[in-house]
Amino acid sequence: MVHDLLLAAAYVSDAQYSRNVPFETSPQTIRLYYFYNHWTMRAATNFFIFVDLSLALFEEPALFPLPFLATSIAEVLCLTAFFGRLIHFAKVTPQTVFWKDTKNICIMVTIVLTLVDLIVYGSLEAINIHSVRWSRALRPVFLINFPESRQIRRAFRSIRNTLPDILYVFLLFMFNMLIFSLMALKLFGDRGLKTVEGSPYFTNILEIIFDLYVLVTTANSPDVMMPAYDFNRWYSLYFITYIIINTYIFMSVFLAVVYNNYRKHLKNEIRKLVYLKHYKMVEAFNLLKVKVGAEFVVKEAEWRRLTKVVVPDISSSHLELLLRISDEGQKGHVDKTNFLRLADLLNIQVITISVRRHPLEAWMPRVYKSSVSLFIQKVVQHRIFVWIYDAIILLNAIFIALDEKNPFISYAEWLFLSLYVIEILLKLYTYEPKAYFGRKQFWNWFDTLIIIAALVATVANATIQSARKYNSQQILDIVLVLRILRLLRVIISIQRFRVIVTTLINIGPTILTFGGLVLVVYYTFAIIGMEVFQGKVRFFDPNVTTPDALVCGNPALKDAAFARDRYCKNNFNDLAASFVVLIELTVVNQWHIIAEGFSLVTHPTAKLYFIFFHIVVVILIVNIFIAFILEAFFVAY
């Protein structure tokens, strides 16, 4: 009986969290499965994934260099943890299922490959031969393939499903680009035209193809047109046609195809999830059902025990509420239809709004209920109170914009801070604190935290300042940012703004999923970029103007736009710098200058790295992101 209960609770819990893990049903395995799903085990796995990914910060080219021995020991530790987690999973799930799941195979293969790489690299290093730590690019495999990363995997599946459809559009787009390249070669190649930099204009077909690909991203518009346009104004028609077809129509079609697939895929996933949930709940029901009259039901006592196993820390009032919903007729048992709803019911957040008395009222009722106190409470609750504080915030904004070297203005800052603190104290005096800081009271939390943070930072800064007679730059920056973030409070007063922001906050978790997806792709590209481009471009202090500093330490960049625009710090010399470069490439503008720079210091084929990045990140991932925002806003608005 206890075994059945545990098994049923595992099913319900799986349904609640939409887990899709087939597990063996022997008593011992179920306990193992509970342990597998325990938050400590999941946290440990996430911790090791985090450590494993972070290693790139400490390995050559390092942001914080550590010896190879230290990072390799850490990596072996992580691999051991991953292997342990996998073994644990293998004990829980049936053998045949385990070996059929590509996720598990992926993890195992990656562990073995990483070990091989570590051994080979370490041995070569021992005899002073420097080789490439290629297995580092595989690390995101762990992030993707552990069952916890369901969301990221779903996003990847969505991309994979889009590929066949997008492929033909992409081929047609490429074909069209080639036709236009050929036309450009024939129309402009023999004219003897020169670009602004004085190099020959449209004479080499490969360079033309690259230039026209860049034009699709608009990054070299209108520069790429100017020589031809200066020569003859009619030639602008060529470029305008090209931009209309390839930038406007084709890029919109890419978005349309991605969006269309995203919607289809989303529908399928939701259908699958619903089916799975239903199936698991039926299994749980079948374990616990007893026959009452003509139908099978679950007895109330059994139902209580089950729910307590699934959610050990459920409050008794919550439990009673769920029971009242599930056993509408108060018959002492839950029928099948109501039982199946349990997983969904558990996912509904219950907010207990109890009309509690203010603690001060309980503590000193006479004072709190006095006419002065009541008047204060009435004032605070009045609209004008909000308006006055909005005016104060606007005044504050003006003071911030003014020069703060003026001591008067610097004192005003303390005045504003105290006004804000007084506001929060007044609100806490008027409203019941537990209700004011309720779970869903996002804006109250935001308000209070910003003020407290600003207060702490300002006090800290003042202390340091008076103690050491100088400003701490970091703290001063934080104080500044917090002081300005306070102005965001104006949003609260405007209903329409609050609706938009709430919508954005609600889709926040999914935006984080995209963060994970982007992290995975960035990480792989960053590792490859670091292996290929590290040290080729160096950053010198902006004040240094030696010839070497002007070409980012690489003579190949002489006369290159990369050096002229002072992009030396856009390099792949450590993980953080690489990520910044990849973000710049995602933003797209000037990406061709960066691509050109890195191809000058290595080889022209290096441009393929940047083109491939553009296709993967901008055409696929950014479009999926836009599709997601569109869909989220259609549902919310």
How many C-beta neighbours within 10 Å does residue 433 have? 14
C-beta separation of 475 from 468 below 8 A: no
608 binds, among Na ion, a copy of itself, none (CB under 5 to 8 A by kind): none
Q: Which is nearer to Na ion, 218 or 418 (CB)?
A: 218
47 binds, among Na ion, a copy of itself, none (CB under 5 to 8 A by kind): none
539 binds, among a copy of itself, Na ion, none (CB under 5 to 8 A by kind): a copy of itself
Residue with tokens 């193992």: 32
Q: Interface with a copy of itself by CB under 8 A: which range of 83-91, 140-148, 164-172, 301-309?
A: 164-172
We find the least distance from the C-beta atom of residue 236 to a copy of itself, in angstroms, to be 5
Q: Which is nearer to a copy of itself, 93 or 573 (CB)?
A: 573
Total residues interacting with a copy of itself, rule: CB under 8 A: 85
Exposed, middle or buried: residue 536 (CB in 10 Å: 0-12, 13-18, 19+)?
buried
- The rounded distance, in Å, linking the Cα atoms of 448 and 453 is 8
183-222 positions binding Na ion, by CB under 5 A? 218
Q: Is 256 in the site for a copy of itself (CB under 8 A)?
A: yes
Among 97, 115, 380, 630, binds a copy of itself (CB under 8 A): 630
We find the least distance from the C-beta atom of residue 246 to Na ion, in angstroms, to be 15
402 binds, among Na ion, a copy of itself, none (CB under 5 to 8 A by kind): none
Q: Which is nearer to a copy of itself, 18 or 54 (CB)?
A: 54
Among 109, 182, 589, 608, binds Na ion (CB under 5 A): 589
Percent composition of the chain: helix, strand, coil (DSSP 3-state, to 5): 75, 0, 20
Q: Interface with Na ion by CB under 5 A: which range of 155-163, 358-366, 581-589, 608-616?
A: 581-589
- The rounded distance, in Å, linking the Cα atoms of 614 and 62 is 26
We find the least distance from the C-beta atom of residue 265 to a copy of itself, in angstroms, to be 14
Provide the 3-class DSSP secondary structure of residue 449.
helix
| Sign of torsion over alpha carbons 213, 214, 216, 222 | negative
How many C-beta neighbours within 10 Å does residue 21 have? 15
Q: Is 344 in the site for a copy of itself (CB under 8 A)?
A: no
We find the least distance from the C-beta atom of residue 194 to a copy of itself, in angstroms, to be 8
The mark string for 533-572 relative to Na ion (x by CB under 5 A, - otherwise) is ----------------------------------------
626 binds, among a copy of itself, Na ion, none (CB under 5 to 8 A by kind): a copy of itself
- The rounded distance, in Å, linking the Cα atoms of 484 and 166 is 44
Tokens of 169: 């559009």
Q: Which is nearer to a copy of itself, 99 or 168 (CB)?
A: 168
Q: Is 223 in the site for a copy of itself (CB under 8 A)?
A: yes
Choose among 170, 168, 165: nearest CA to 262.
Answer: 165
Q: Cα 587 to chain center, whole Å?
A: 16
Q: Interface with Na ion by CB under 5 A: which range of 2-10, 196-204, 574-582, 583-591?
A: 583-591
The mark string for 392-431 relative to a copy of itself (x by CB under 8 A, - otherwise) is -----x--xx--x---------------------------
Helix axes 407-430, 371-381, angle to 10 degrees: 110
Q: Which is nearer to a copy of itself, 439 or 496 (CB)?
A: 496
Q: Which is nearer to a copy of itself, 247 or 472 (CB)?
A: 247
70 binds, among a copy of itself, Na ion, none (CB under 5 to 8 A by kind): none
* Inter-CA distances, 445 with 106, 388, 438, 487, 542, Å: 43, 20, 9, 15, 42
- The rounded distance, in Å, linking the Cα atoms of 277 and 412 is 59
Q: Is 464 in the site for a copy of itself (CB under 8 A)?
A: no
We find the least distance from the C-beta atom of residue 622 to Na ion, in angstroms, to be 14
Choose among 278, 254, 49, 261: nearest CA to 155.
Answer: 261
Q: Is 328 in the site for a copy of itself (CB under 8 A)?
A: no
| Secondary structure of 458-494 in HEC code, one letter for each residue | HHHHHHHHHHHCCCCHHHHHHHHHHHHHHHHHHHHHC
Q: Is 558 in the site for a copy of itself (CB under 8 A)?
A: no
Exposure string for 568-601, b = 16+ CB within 10 A, e = fewer: bebbbbbbebbbebbebbbebebbbbbbbbbbbb
Tokens of 73: 């020991």
The mark string for 469-498 relative to a copy of itself (x by CB under 8 A, - otherwise) is --------x--xx-xxx-xx-xx----xx-
Q: Which is nearer to a copy of itself, 147 or 227 (CB)?
A: 227
165-194 positions binding a copy of itself, by CB under 8 A? 168-169, 171-172, 175, 179, 182-183, 185-187, 194
227 binds, among Na ion, a copy of itself, none (CB under 5 to 8 A by kind): a copy of itself
Q: What is the DSSP letter of 200?
A: B
What stretch of H or E contains 612?
Answer: helix 607-613
The mark string for 282-321 relative to a copy of itself (x by CB under 8 A, - otherwise) is ----------------------------------------
Q: Which is nearer to a copy of itself, 29 or 246 (CB)?
A: 246
Q: Which is nearer to a copy of itself, 333 or 489 (CB)?
A: 489
C-beta separation of 23 from 37 below 8 A: no
What stretch of H or E contains 292?
Answer: strand 290-292
What stretch of H or E contains 98?
Answer: helix 95-100
We find the least distance from the C-beta atom of residue 264 to a copy of itself, in angstroms, to be 10
521-550 positions binding a copy of itself, by CB under 8 A? 539, 542
- Measured in Å, how far apart are the chain's first and last C-alpha atoms? 49
* Inter-CA distances, 483 with 425, 452, 486, 499, 583, Å: 19, 11, 5, 24, 28
Q: Which is nearer to Na ion, 80 or 589 (CB)?
A: 589
We find the least distance from the C-beta atom of residue 390 to a copy of itself, in angstroms, to be 13
* Inter-CA distances, 140 with 50, 136, 384, 488, 489, Å: 10, 9, 54, 37, 39
We find the least distance from the C-beta atom of residue 553 to a copy of itself, in angstroms, to be 14
- The rounded distance, in Å, linking the Cα atoms of 232 and 415 is 65
257-316 positions binding Na ion, by CB under 5 A? none
Q: Which is nearer to a copy of itself, 303 or 399 (CB)?
A: 399
- The rounded distance, in Å, linking the Cα atoms of 623 and 586 is 12
We find the least distance from the C-beta atom of residue 170 to a copy of itself, in angstroms, to be 11
Tokens of 314: 């459920």
- The letter for the amino acid at 474 is Q
Residues in touch with Na ion (CB under 5 A): 218, 589
